[in-house]
A = this chain, B = another copy of it.
Amino acid sequence: MAYYVGIDLGGTNIKAGVVDSEGKLLNKLSIKTRAERTMEEIIHDMGTLAMDTIKDLGLEVKDIEAIGIGSPGTPDNKEGLLVYSSNLPFNNAPMRKLIREVIDLPVYIDNDANCAAMAEAVAGAAKGAADSVTITLGTGVGAGVIANGRIYSGFNQAGSEFGHTVLVSGGVQCGCGRKGCFEQYASASALARMTKEAAEANPDSLLNDLYKEEGEWNARIAFVAMRQGDQVAKDVVEMYTDYLADGLANAINTFMPEVLVVGGGVCNEGDPLLIPMREKTMSRPYFGPGVKKTRIELAQMGNDAGIVGAAMMGKSCVDDGKNGK
């Protein structure tokens, strides 16, 4: 069995672990990112953490095939750089070079959403499918595309930014500069916004009481109120799942994946989200007669998706003979 180290670089924590060639996570270590530090300090710590995960299992560097790194932002896996990242002090950061000063292994870099999709494809909800798309509903809407077992990220490695496709022309202003992006209608933040707007328009709705208890507008309030019979909340969930299904159907028509994986905290709501999401989405795409249909599944890899996906991204680069030195 061959082993790979996966590193999940986040704005708050750096997580790393050793993963076997079938996507099984063997251990996991974590340190604080402390993003206020210099790029060199952070990357040095990433290399040290990778080394610690290897030693932790009683393995040696020679037992490991490669290190894969999943990072927010845009990578340049060919040159071994992190071109930019909005939340970290990286600007054309020579990540491969600096990691390799700590640990002499091939190093590969990709976007964190792409790595999450790779984790689902190798060991999660899309296991066994050559073509899958993973959409993550969080603060934004992340998307990762796996085509024929490989991450699809376009010529500049910045794809897929499917969350930044306009679904509602002239709609809600998005942080990317456009109006009406899918992200503004399907993210957890979008659901919180819809909840707030509906509550303000309906002062008698239970939504307002729940807001006082929670102290913030979040993506749970509408579901909690709906379960307690609040009609305004029911309408909010109806509206949210309509938009969500429209965007997911767009993703299906665009990529025609075998499996469309949906993840993110909102999915913890279970059937009240899942049933309408599945039914509405599958009523929309354009499948001709006799054409095989996409399956919709929930993400399974949870918090380990980043590490496992980064490691399996590294494996795919090794398998393809890509230079990681």
Contact = CB atoms under 8 A, between A and B. Distances in A.
Interface string A78-121: 00000110100001100000000000000000000000000000
Contact of A147 (B152, B287, B293): B152
A166 B181 CA distance: 11
A155 B287 CA distance: 12
Interface string A138-173: 000000000100001111111111101111110100
A83 B290 contact: yes
B84 A291 contact: yes
A293 B180 CA distance: 22
Nearest to A169: B168
A167 B179 CA distance: 11
Contacts of A287: 156, 158
Interface residues of A, number: 55
| Identical chains in the assembly | 2
A83 B249 contact: no
Q: What does DSSP make chain A's interface, helix, strand, loop or mixed?
A: loop
B255 A154 contact: yes
A158 B172 CA distance: 32
A33 interface: no
B288 A257 contact: no
Contacts of A176: 286
Given A83-B290, A169-B168, A284 B177 contact: yes
Contacts of A291: 74, 83-84, 156, 158
16 contacts: A84-B290, A92-B290, A147-B152, A152-B152, A153-B256, A154-B255, A155-B257, A155-B292, A156-B287, A158-B256, A165-B254, A167-B169, A169-B243, A177-B286, A178-B284, A178-B286
Interface of A: 73-74, 83-84, 86, 91-92, 129-131, 147, 152-162, 164-169, 171, 176-178, 180, 185, 243, 246, 249-250, 253-258, 284-294
| A-B residue pairs, 10 tightest by C-beta | A154-B256, A159-B256, A155-B258, A165-B250, A156-B292, A161-B253, A131-B155, A168-B169, A164-B286, A176-B286
